[in-house]
Structure 1
Amino acid sequence: MIGKLNPFRRNGRPADDTSIVMDSARKSTGGRTRNRIVMTMAVFFGIYATIGGRLIYLGFQDPMPSGAPASRVTASRPDIVDRNGEVLATDIKTSSLFAEPRHIVDADEAIEKLSTVLPNLDYEQTYNKLKSGAGFVWLQRQLTPRQQSAIMQLGIPGIGFRTETRRFYPAGPTTAYIVGLTNIDNQGISGLEKYIDGQGLADLQQSGLALPKDLAPVRLSVDLRVQHIVHDEITSAMERYKAIAAGAVVLNAKTGEVVAMASVPDFDPNNPVNAQDKDRLNRMSAGLYEMGSTVKSFTTAMALDSGKATLNSTFDATRPITIGRQTIRDFHGKGRVLTLPEVFIYSSNIGSAREADIVGIEGHREFLHRLGILERMQTELPEVARPVEPKVWKKVHSITASFGHGFTTTPLQTAVGAAALMNGGYLMNPTFLARSAEEAMAGAKRVINEKTSADMRYLYRLNAEKGSGRRAEVPGYRVGGKTGTAEKVVNGRYVSGKRFNAFLAAFPMDDPQYIVLSVIDEPQPEKPGMGATAGLNAAPIVANIIRRSAAMLGVEPDFGHENAATLASY
């Protein structure tokens, strides 16, 4: 037995139960210790990796000093595009200069260096900022890349840059009054920019949810190509006729869409230093004017729609009308009885007064309200003026209103009312957003009957062929329209040498698709010896717009319809 190994002995020594248990415990404890060490190392590695990753991330971010405003991401805005997708307004990134006054070593030296790049920097104001001891102050917002680079090379301690969002308008002044403006914080303050804020964008910005990837472009009804033509023509006309202002609008008669609208003088929305000047006014929607003889379109339509007159009716224009202290005369009177078409093409004030008289004072006022001429226009553009009319209408008010005096309205709603005369009798609120004919008709209101609309189309075409609208003719496009030459009121009196001229047109007259209205304020004769009435200046503006834009609007010329309208009665 001595030569055999005892399984219960270890190294020749007895192995009792206690030694076996202790050996097992040591193995178990050692395993757990190693696991704890590994886990502890893993935790520390994870912590340091997280800290390191965060430091790397922050290294790529803009500095955020104490007191700095929140990230400008919340001020993003959607692109604004025209009906064909051309960008009219978009966000771009720009840098703004800030300072941490507590870290500024020498304020005078800092200002002196900054002035070499920013010569318009206000010394006193900037000095007070840098000596304020605040944690953060703005020094200059929205720098150019060249300015930012030059300032960085100055090496001034305590200043830095923040990336902000600003608005860029590729079309510049061409669409300024439609698209509008934003302020330094990228908030809409005029035009469609302000409208968009009111549709919920401002709330999204405040909640931090206005992220660029989530903002769909806003598509307008405006056609940038036509807009450029309109802007170009009124700019040229203002210079040619030495006027103080001019404007025009192209309106889709079937949908109420504003295809183009411009007014000059205007401003550059990318540098709106003169946007608040008193002569920078969107005269088409925010300007109030006596629209002169263009209003005779509504007077004649009113007489026809009332059923008390037809194209065969006659009106005595033999003598002037005297009412109170006022005497109503014709500019180029015929001194005889006129047919209704003659009243229209000769633009007879006396005949128009007779037309209003057969309808009556209240009927006249109601008709102008029905066509929206005396109502505040409902549209997306915030800059809309409220028409002004006499508080109490008397006969003298009805007579003067019949030829466009005694009340003021905007050129745009004059065009909107004319669309109802041309499209079969449906009044549609104008829109600057794209919409279909079906959507337009869903909200349209019938204001005159179809027969009246057909008669007015005939009269418009007749006036372009035989009346004051001859200079608006464009071969192939069957233009029709009505001139308006109104004396302006200065200090409560009409001044003969100051005019506000307009031409209200539609085309093609067999089925009018578009209304075109031009206005020109205080035009002078183009040449010595010439007149300065609407037929000589406002009408050619319309002709040029139609000639250049008709093809873009999808209207094909048709020379087979060039048959002259006649004065023959039905």
Structure 2
Amino acid sequence: MTDITSFQFQSVDKNVSKMDVARLRLIWAIALFSLGFMVLIGRTLELGLADPVGAVRKTVATKSGRTVIAPVQMARADIVDRNGEILATNLETSSLAVDATMIKDPKGLARKLAEIIPDVPLATFEKRLSSGKKFVWLKRKLSPAQKWKVNALGEVGLKFEREEERIYPHGRLAAHVLGYVDVDGNGLAGLEHYFDDEMKAGSSQVDIGDRTLRTSLDIRVQFALADELSAAMRAHSAVGGAGLVMDVKSGEVIAMVSLPDYDPNDIRGISKEALFNRATKGVYELGSTFKTFTFAAALDEGVVTLNDGYDATKPLRISRFLIQDDHPKARYLSVPEIFTYSSNIGTAQMALDLGTERQQEFLNNIGLLQPAPIEITEVGAPMYPTNWRKVSTMTISYGHGIAVSPLQLATGISAMVNGGRLIPATLIHQTDGVREGKQVIKPSTSRQIRQLLRMVVKKGTGSKASAIGYRVGGKTGTAEKAAAGGYNEKLLISSFVGAFPMDDPQYVVFALLDEPKGIKETHGFRGGGWTAAPVVKNVILRASPILGIAPKEEDEGLYRQIAMKIHDDKKR
């Protein structure tokens, strides 16, 4: 006979076993559900954190011998300014294609697409939709709104192809430096073209670092220069303009502007005039700014000293040419006075004493007789006489008969004020901030040139470039534009090149206006001292706080030697 107590315990054990099994199944179900949920979360995070360009993966071997899965970047590298501000980047977009063999009503679909994408002609849509081809592009780089509307049509033959679009967040600002790309992402101008191979993923060319091209530009200074140059162009109804800000110790171009400009985000219908880079490709006769080089060569060679001078009583006649001063003093002028008052007569005589051979050698040595080396392809070749005669020596001494780019001039002036070192210009950020250069004049000559440039602003033709507290020095330049059979005196190239602070120069600032008109505020004058010098002044006042240069009082003793050699015209 079975013990009833034993039976009861057996029943309880069976019930407990069934409950454990049910509980175990529930736990397993929860665990599997949680695992699946975690997989989904992980995949979502992976997609969210993945490279925005949808990087694909490839197996690579490391130096340690391990094999890892590494991303392969598919986007074009970013371009940033010296502070990391994005100047050019890629955004994902969609392009529209069609399998025309699947389209039953090409004309009807063409009408619908033409309403959504009005910049493509209806006839173009009809032709492509009726082509019978398996793959035909209908429109590259759709906007999000266009993609949504096309998708809403529900047409199975339409296909969206993932692509990338090059975006320039600052628009036309720095357009001539950055350049632009075509619809397939190939660089066609500026840095985009020069570094095209390096900018593309998987390039075997020079490594540009962390997939970012860091330029020398400071977009804040770029804006200040563009703004001031644009304002001057409008005020003087000029047809064009160019400007530069350059670090004299590293050769870095902090800002470069050419006007008119363009928006690299949309290059359709852009004129050749707007695409032309006046700062690097344009070559101009830059007038009296060239006197800086004549004086530097003569002082460095010992041809003259600051105690010498020349008779500027009357114009010089050589053959059929007459060399005269715009604002003649009609007297003997000391060397400092010739520079300060910008005397063509005195400078031409100095050039004759220097001699043609030494003049050519000096100009070649500072890079003015060959195209400027810089990281864009839009670079102009200088123009000068193949037959460098005596009259050429005289006129080139004050900037007539030779044409160079604004970039070349700024680079040369930088060498004149930085202690005499010629440092090639660059658009790429230099991490150490200083570059070695070729010594082209003695440091003592450079100091004299700084004194002369400062006196031009304090007492001479460049007074309107004076920015109080920043010890600006500089030189005006005004030249008639070349025309058939000679020059057109009604059309001027007016410029000013300045450097600051002159006791320890850090930057050169250059401004040029093409065909400026005289206005009431300039008393009808159109020269560089009236039109371009104020641009340089305003840029210095706006850029100096950005560049970390504080205003301070000037040590007058630095310039007393020059000032004593300059006569006070009021006493005469």
Kindly state the Cα deviation for residue 562 of structure 1 after the two structures are TM-superposed.
Answer: 6.1
Partner of 1:204: 202
Distance in 2 of aligned mates of 1:343 and 1:381: 38
Contact 1:93 1:165 in 2 (8 A): yes
Q: Give the SS at the match of 1:162.
A: strand
Q: 1:343 to 1:436 in 2, by over 3 A?
A: farther
Partner of 2:81: 82
Partner of 2:352: 357
Partner of 2:563: 567
1:130-189, Cα deviation, whole Å (9 max, x unpaired): 222211111111111011111122233411211101111111111111111111011111
Distance in 1 of aligned mates of 2:425 and 2:141: 36
User: Normalising by the residue count of structure 2, what TM-score does the alignment of the two structures yield?
Assistant: 0.83
Amino acid in structure 2 at the alignment position of 1:523 = P
Contact 1:101 1:133 in 2 (8 A): yes
Q: 2:291 aligns with which of 279, 290, 296?
A: 296
Structure 2: segments with no counterpart, 5+ residues:
1-42, 48-71, 567-572
Partner of 1:177: 176
Kindly state the Cα deviation for residue 211 of structure 1 after the two structures are TM-superposed.
Answer: 13
Q: Give the SS at the match of 2:563.
A: coil
Q: Trace 1:351-430 onto structure 2 (pairs within 5 A).
A: 351-430=346-425
Q: 1:300 to 1:437 in 2, by over 3 A?
A: farther
Kindly state the Cα deviation for residue 203 of structure 1 after the two structures are TM-superposed.
Answer: 7.7
Q: Give the SS at the match of 1:296.
A: helix
Distance in 2 of aligned mates of 1:107 and 1:132: 9
Distance in 1 of aligned mates of 2:109 and 2:241: 48
Partner of 1:131: 130
Contact 2:285 2:399 in 1 (8 A): yes
1:70-109, Cα deviation, whole Å (9 max, x unpaired): xxx9752111111111111111011111111111112111
Q: Trace 1:145-224 onto structure 2 (pairs within 5 A).
A: 145-198=144-197, 200-202=198-200, 204=202, 216-224=211-219
Q: 1:515 to 1:166 in 2, by over 3 A?
A: same
Kindly state the Cα deviation for residue 377 of structure 1 after the two structures are TM-superposed.
Answer: 0.8
Q: 2:438 aligns with which of 445, 450, 455?
A: 445
1:503-530, Cα deviation, whole Å (9 max, x unpaired): 0100000010100000011111132743
Structure 1: segments with no counterpart, 5+ residues:
1-55, 61-72
Kindly state the Cα deviation for residue 411 of structure 1 after the two structures are TM-superposed.
Answer: 0.5
Q: Trace 1:312-331 onto structure 2 (pairs within 5 A).
A: 312-331=307-326
Kindly state the Cα deviation for residue 276 of structure 1 after the two structures are TM-superposed.
Answer: 4.2
Q: 1:179 to 1:377 in 2, by over 3 A?
A: same
Q: Give the SS at the match of 2:377.
A: coil
1:426-471, Cα deviation, whole Å (9 max, x unpaired): 0011011111557511xx1011111110110000010100001100
Partner of 1:523: 516
The number of residues matched between the two structures is: 496
Q: Decide which moves more: 317-326 or 406-415.
A: 317-326
Distance in 2 of aligned mates of 1:530 and 1:211: 53
Amino acid in structure 2 at the alignment position of 1:225 = R
Amino acid in structure 1 at the alignment position of 2:305 = T
Partner of 1:544: 538
Distance in 1 of aligned mates of 2:84 and 2:455: 39
Q: Give the SS at the match of 2:226.
A: helix
Distance in 2 of aligned mates of 1:332 and 1:270: 48
Distance in 2 of aligned mates of 1:279 and 1:91: 24
Distance in 2 of aligned mates of 1:369 and 1:458: 24
Partner of 2:14: none
Q: 1:242 to 1:125 in 2, by over 3 A?
A: same
1:38-91, Cα deviation, whole Å (9 max, x unpaired): xxxxxxxxxxxxxxxxxx99xx9xxxxxxxxxxxx9752111111111111111
Q: Give the SS at the match of 1:249.
A: strand
Distance in 2 of aligned mates of 1:388 and 1:275: 28
Q: Trace 1:239-254 onto structure 2 (pairs within 5 A).
A: 239-254=234-249
1:304-337, Cα deviation, whole Å (9 max, x unpaired): 1111111111112122121221111111111122
Is 1:268 the counterpart of 2:263? The answer is yes
Distance in 2 of aligned mates of 1:89 and 1:149: 26
Distance in 2 of aligned mates of 1:307 and 1:437: 35
User: Normalising by the residue count of structure 1, what TM-score does the alignment of the two structures yield?
Assistant: 0.83
Q: 2:474 aligns with which of 481, 503, 514?
A: 481
Amino acid in structure 1 at the alignment position of 2:564 = A
Contact 1:488 1:499 in 2 (8 A): yes
Distance in 1 of aligned mates of 2:433 and 2:105: 68
Kindly state the Cα deviation for residue 201 of structure 1 after the two structures are TM-superposed.
Answer: 3.9
Q: 1:552 to 1:211 in 2, by over 3 A?
A: closer
1:534-565, Cα deviation, whole Å (9 max, x unpaired): 11110000000000110111111112436775
Is 1:110 the counterpart of 2:104? The answer is no
Partner of 1:232: 227
Distance in 1 of aligned mates of 2:91 and 2:485: 49
Q: Give the SS at the match of 1:407.
A: coil
Q: 1:148 to 1:84 in 2, by over 3 A?
A: same
Kindly state the Cα deviation for residue 128 of structure 1 after the two structures are TM-superposed.
Answer: 2.5
Amino acid in structure 2 at the alignment position of 1:567 = A
Distance in 2 of aligned mates of 1:204 and 1:369: 40
Partner of 1:65: none
Q: 1:203 to 1:75 in 2, by over 3 A?
A: closer
Kindly state the Cα deviation for residue 280 of structure 1 after the two structures are TM-superposed.
Answer: 3.3
Q: 2:454 aligns with which of 445, 456, 461?
A: 461
Contact 1:487 1:495 in 2 (8 A): yes
Q: 1:489 to 1:279 in 2, by over 3 A?
A: farther
Kindly state the Cα deviation for residue 489 of structure 1 after the two structures are TM-superposed.
Answer: 1.2
Contact 1:476 1:562 in 2 (8 A): no
Q: Give the SS at the match of 1:434.
A: coil
1:267-307, Cα deviation, whole Å (9 max, x unpaired): 11111224443343211111110011111111111111111
**Aligned residues with identical type, % of pairs:** 41
Partner of 1:556: 550
Amino acid in structure 1 at the alignment position of 2:388 = W
Contact 2:421 2:438 in 1 (8 A): yes
Q: Give the SS at the match of 2:173.
A: helix
Contact 1:201 1:210 in 2 (8 A): no
CA RMSD of superposed structures (Å): 2.4
Amino acid in structure 1 at the alignment position of 2:563 = L
Distance in 1 of aligned mates of 2:543 and 2:342: 29
Q: Give the SS at the match of 1:184.
A: coil
1:395-450, Cα deviation, whole Å (9 max, x unpaired): 11111111111111100110000000000100011011111557511xx1011111
Q: 1:107 to 1:562 in 2, by over 3 A?
A: farther
Q: Give the SS at the match of 1:173.
A: coil
Contact 1:77 1:210 in 2 (8 A): no
